[in-house]
Amino acid sequence: MRWLLLLAMVPFSARADEPARLVEELLPRVIKVMGLPGPKHLTVKIVSREQAERWLRRDLDPDRQQRLGEALLAVGLLPPGTKLETLAPEFNAQNVSAFYDLRTHTLVLLADQPDEAQRPIVAHELAHAVQDANLALDAAMKARRHSEDATLAFTALLEGQAQATAALVMDQWLRDRHVTVEGMSGLLSDTAARSAAEAAARAPVPFLGLQLRFPYVAGRDLIAAVSTPDDPVGRFLLKAPPASTAQVMSPGAPAPLERELHLERLIPHAKKSISTTLGRANLELLGEELGVGWRGDRLEAVRVRGKPVVTWVIAFDTPAQAQQLARLVSGASSRGGNVVIASGAPEAVRDAALRLFPEPHLK
């Protein structure tokens, strides 16, 4: 994914400026709020919704989406019959209001958005442009491609920071026009997060709803938790971003444990399909608070003579937390602080999976 979406922002009455004029006006405000250098180059384009859909689809990997979807279905995170490779691009395209393309450094606005909504949208996307100028976001995203969890956590930081920046910019813009409302910036950020949550509630499957809701809602909460008068948008986090959704939800959480099972080496004739970390946020799709004590996980899938074999190993702080998950998920088993949820895996593979994360991580 090389673009950052803006899926919902609160509309504001404003004059119908041309986007280039809005960028010229708002970029200095965004830079001031973030306290970071701005981009040296930025392209602005206005496209139709159909053009935006084609733009967003051209960098997607439907084959990987299909393989991920097959693994998620096997461990109970997708309902039977779900075609993730079809639903994901459709859902994103239906909800997008604007996006920032990381590779071409292009701010893409949709022609069907009302003029009065463009100001906060542009402020939000300019925040992404400033993040990109300081962190090379395309490379940063590629470095996290191995982990759904790390990607979702990093996206939450970027979206939470962009929301907070746009809210502060709009608050100051209103103050300049002698419109002052106590707590306005917080209200604006909350409204944007609530809009994303409402859109997520209409997702065809909960997994896709979480991928939309978490960056905006948890991202808002993360920035609120770390902001200070000198750094209201958590600028320092760009140098030390959260490594997991657990760290987004609890900024003091320890670094995640990272291990690979290499399922393809354990089963004869196995061909590797997917290997990733799902993280606490995705784990809690199985039940609220089931991710408390999460320390790391690994989802791996292979195909053996055309049939999928899937294992998902989750490490917890305590055996009690592991046992709680194992009791609630049919077919799951636990040992110490580790849990394995598997489909089609021989007993020897399950046993190896339960030893993936060493016990010294336990409290």
Looking at the structure, do residues 136 and 82 belong to the same domain, yes or no? yes
Task: Output the pLDDT for position 190.
Answer: 86
- The torsion angles phi and psi of 93, rounded to 5 degrees, stand at -65, -35
| Beta strand residue intervals within the chain, DSSP E | 3-6, 43-47, 98-101, 106-110, 270-276, 294-304, 307-316, 333-335, 338-343
Residue 101 lies in a domain: yes
Residue 258 lies in a domain: no
Per-residue pLDDT of the chain (363 residues; tens, 9 = 90+): 444 554 433 333 333 346 788 899 999 999 999 999 999 989 999 999 889 888 988 878 999 999 999 999 999 999 999 999 999 988 988 888 899 999 999 999 988 877 667 889 999 999 999 999 999 999 999 999 999 999 999 999 999 999 999 999 999 998 888 887 777 778 788 888 899 999 999 999 999 999 999 999 999 999 999 999 999 999 999 999 999 999 999 999 999 999 999 999 999 999 999 999 999 999 999 999 999 999 999 999 999 999 999 999 999 999 999 999 999 999 899 999 999 999 999 999 999 999 999 875 555
Looking at the structure, do residues 133 and 268 belong to the same domain, yes or no? no
Residue 257 lies in a domain: no
Looking at the structure, do residues 69 and 148 belong to the same domain, yes or no? yes
Q: Closest by alpha carbon to 217, among 195, 185, 238?
A: 195
Looking at the structure, do residues 241 and 277 belong to the same domain, yes or no? no
Task: Output the pLDDT for position 227.
Answer: 95
Task: Decide which of 249, 283, 312 is a domain's last residue.
Answer: 249
- The torsion angles phi and psi of 271, rounded to 5 degrees, stand at -115, 125
Looking at the structure, do residues 288 and 344 belong to the same domain, yes or no? yes
Task: Output the pLDDT for position 59.
Answer: 78
Residue 255 lies in a domain: no
Residue 185 lies in a domain: yes
Looking at the structure, do residues 143 and 275 belong to the same domain, yes or no? no
Looking at the structure, do residues 276 and 245 belong to the same domain, yes or no? no
Task: Output the pLDDT for position 115.
Answer: 66
Whole-structure pTM value: 0.92
Looking at the structure, do residues 145 and 285 belong to the same domain, yes or no? no
State the total domains in the chain.
Answer: 2
d(CA 250, CA 244): 10
Number of Cβ within 10 Å of residue 10's Cβ equals 17
Looking at the structure, do residues 70 and 207 belong to the same domain, yes or no? yes
Looking at the structure, do residues 197 and 53 belong to the same domain, yes or no? yes
Task: Output the pLDDT for position 17.
Answer: 45
Domain limits for position 7: 3-249
Task: Output the pLDDT for position 11.
Answer: 38
Looking at the structure, do residues 268 and 305 belong to the same domain, yes or no? yes
Task: Output the pLDDT for position 15.
Answer: 39
Q: Closest by alpha carbon to 260, among 184, 193, 197, 352?
A: 352
